Amino acid sequence: MGNFEEVLEKAYQESYLPFIEVLQSHPQIKVSLHYSGVLYDWLEKTHPDLLERVAKMVVLGQIEPLTGAYYEPILPFIPDSDKIGQIESFSLRLQERFGRRPRGMWLAERVWEPDLPKPLAQAGIDYTFIDDIHFKAAGLREEELLGYYLTEEEGYLLKLFPISRKLRYLIPFAPKVQEVIDYLRSLATPSGERLIVLGDDGEKFGLWPETYEWVYQNGWLNDFFTALEENRDWIRMWSSEEWMRENESLGRVYLPTSAYQEMAEWALPAKSIPLYEELITRFKNGGELEWFEGFLRGGFHRNFLVKYPEANLMHKRMLRVSEKIARLSDEHGGLLMDEAKRLLYQAQCNCAYWHGIFGGLYLPHLRRAVYNRLIEAELITDELSHTKAHWLDKEIADFDRDGNPEILIDSPVINLYLAPHRGGSLFELDCRKRGLNLLDVLTRREEGYHREIPSLKEEETQLETKSIHERIKTKEENLEECLIFDRYHRASLIDHFLPPQTTLREFSQLEYEELGDFISEPYAHTMNREGNSFSVVLVRTGKVKIQGVDLPLLLKKRLKLVEGEALVEIGYELLNLSSMPIEALFGFEFNLSPQIRGGEGPGESKDIDLLKMEDKESGLRVYFRLEQPGSLWQFPIFTVSQSEKGFERILQANNLFFHWHISFRPNELWKTNLTIEIANAYSF
């Protein structure tokens, strides 16, 4: 969800279409095929002929269609009602197209938790596929995974087919097809039949780097299918349902929480990844990895929500919208609620909630798509819940589930979310009619793979086609210069006190001294309702270090919203509580979504009282008006992340730091005001 049209078209031309063409030329080869709902909808709109070809192959028994949750969520991340709703919606869609309701499903990212059999069975699912490492973690050995198993939750039964990791790496990356055939022969027995399953991303057949030439132009896939046909005296292709009709299960099993091995590594904290890799290397070098890999587990996939607070904020936003829809579903039916559910389901697409070898969370356009759907879905529910055109709702709740309350203010025009315990910061500001979170940014943090970057050169090449899990490559030079890691969460309304001589370069490179203790420490808060307006006052008595002495200072910031208006009024008051004068640069920073740009661009502006920023994609304009002219430092925030094509630099935020050189005596009060106005807030 949220991918660019040209990316989908490239995937179609280099992977989806040629795979079906080669498969169709080998009618004896059978596959189970799953298109995500996102891809299915796109194909139906742009290339319906491909789906017609697939439908004919389904009738001939060459393709077994698999369902799934419509928009490919990681199922344990979403409520059970949404699990069932997504699966049933997509199963019905496939039944209409292919004339049969699929009994099997593809489990997004093969993320498994033991309570999944119940909602899957309730959604009409009979079987699914998960990695062999899941079974090895339960103590089963390689030779015990040549079939399928039964599992259950509260009596709800589900059949599980193990996916061979060995085949995932051999196909299509074995230098010679015969290597795959030799491996299959090593599993064959004179009597009886054994089943081995390959299940993996279709994009590895053409879209992954260098694979189009390897798989199609050099003919690897055609040669592989030919080899299977030539060895049909001892290799037989089965559909899942055929195998289950003719073969009993291998028994009952209960699997622990798990994901495929690479994802389990990515879910670890960055500092733990080298230790895990060292452990794996020791066993691999000793020739013992095959025996013990099931017990060498990495991290738990839910910890992506700890590793990346931005993913957690999106996730909890999604849960909040899901709860609103669930509450209203009984009393409000019809097309509006159906649309709200569809938008919610789209926002549950897994890509933007984690990061591994693919960009995922690091790609701003994926996060933008999630927020867009969540904001639009919530707007539908809120309009159904309110009878007045103009309203303001407030809620104090532990939104991000960290044990501390946040302040959530909603209106038909904007949403505004504050974290009093994190420096009184502003972490979400939505233009609701546009479906935009203006503060959708990503903090710069250390990743386990960053240690590899200094040794790489631009466009470093590999001698052979490899899986993306084995490739190390960079798309540009000098990326190590961008490895700057933030000291705090890059939210907005973050309050700084700096030495007067601090420069823009020092501030942007995190080479400055922070004199105050206001960035991450808690603020007290009060809220007031005055007619058609609502205000939040955040207060902290902190310290500012002047000449080595901690001086007390009272900081108060007040945010005011008015019903029906797309603006926020912000007032600051600083009171010197010490017996000494305080001289410093005082300012507050905003970190805007990378698509929102403007002003004079990166650099320093003095005596500024108005700044215009614009979202080029939507045409939305944001005006910052300062009552007291000040200075502005503006600079981009880049991260360095890995993708299937290599390491790359990505713009994650545009930082605005409004500041003043203040010098005030004991008991002196300093004040300023700022207004943020969102223009074009109502048009789509």
- To the query of whether residue 201 is one of the catalytic residues in this protein, the response is yes
Q: H-type helices in 482-528, by residue range? A: 504-508
Say how far apart CA 600 and CA 598 lie, in whole Å: 6
Q: Among 226, 171, 221, which residue's Cα sits nearest to residue 196?
A: 171
- Other CB atoms closer than 10 Å to residue 230's CB: what's the count? 10
pLDDT digits (tens, 9 = 90+) for 563-574: 999 999 999 999
Has residue 601 got a pLDDT over 90? no
CA distances from 311 to 302, 308, 362, 371, 440 (A): 10, 5, 10, 11, 11
Extract the tokens encoding 71.
Answer: 């928009």
CA distances from 534 to 280, 404, 568, 681 (A): 56, 22, 10, 19
Say how far apart CA 588 and CA 487 lie, in whole Å: 16
CA distances from 230 to 32, 181, 225, 674 (A): 21, 11, 9, 75
Residues paired with residue 159 on neighbouring β-strands, in sequence order = 127, 150
Has residue 274 got a pLDDT over 50? yes
pTM of the model: 0.94
| Inter-residue contact 265 to 163 (CB < 8 Å) | no
pLDDT digits (tens, 9 = 90+) for 8-57: 999 999 999 999 999 999 999 999 999 999 999 999 999 999 999 999 99
Extract the tokens encoding 616.
Answer: 């080029």
Say how far apart CA 74 and CA 162 lie, in whole Å: 19
Determine the average pLDDT of the residues in 360-386: 96
Q: Which listed residue (9, 182, 201, 459) is catalytic? A: 201
- Report the DSSP pairing between strands 149-153 and 393-397: unpaired
CATH class of 5-165+236-259: alpha beta
- To the query of whether residue 109 is one of the catalytic residues in this protein, the response is yes
Count of CA atoms in the C-beta half-sphere (13 A) of 485:
8
Q: Which listed residue (64, 72, 88, 109) is catalytic? A: 109
- CATH number, span 413-452+486-684: 2.70.98.10
pLDDT digits (tens, 9 = 90+) for 474-530: 667 788 888 999 999 999 999 999 999 999 999 999 999 999 999 999 999 999 998
- Spell 119-138 as b/e; 16+ CB within 10 A means b: bbbebbbbbbbbbbbbbbbe
Looking at residue 209, its amino acid is P
Residues paired with residue 416 on neighbouring β-strands, in sequence order = 409, 429
Say how far apart CA 68 and CA 85 lie, in whole Å: 11
CA 568 from chain center: how many Å? 29
Has residue 545 got a pLDDT over 80? yes
**Stretch among 80-84, 465-469, 632-636, 645-649 having the lowest mean pLDDT:** 465-469
- The domain locations on the chain are 5-165+236-259, 413-452+486-684
| Inter-residue contact 393 to 522 (CB < 8 Å) | no
Say how far apart CA 378 and CA 361 lie, in whole Å: 22
- Spell 473-512 as b/e; 16+ CB within 10 A means b: bbbeeebeebbeeeeebbbbbbbbbbeeebebeebbeeeb
Dihedral sign for Cα atoms in the order 355, 359, 364, 369: negative
Has residue 458 got a pLDDT over 70? no
- Model pLDDT, residue 456: 60
Share of the chain above pLDDT 70, in %: 96
Determine the average pLDDT of the residues in 72-84: 97
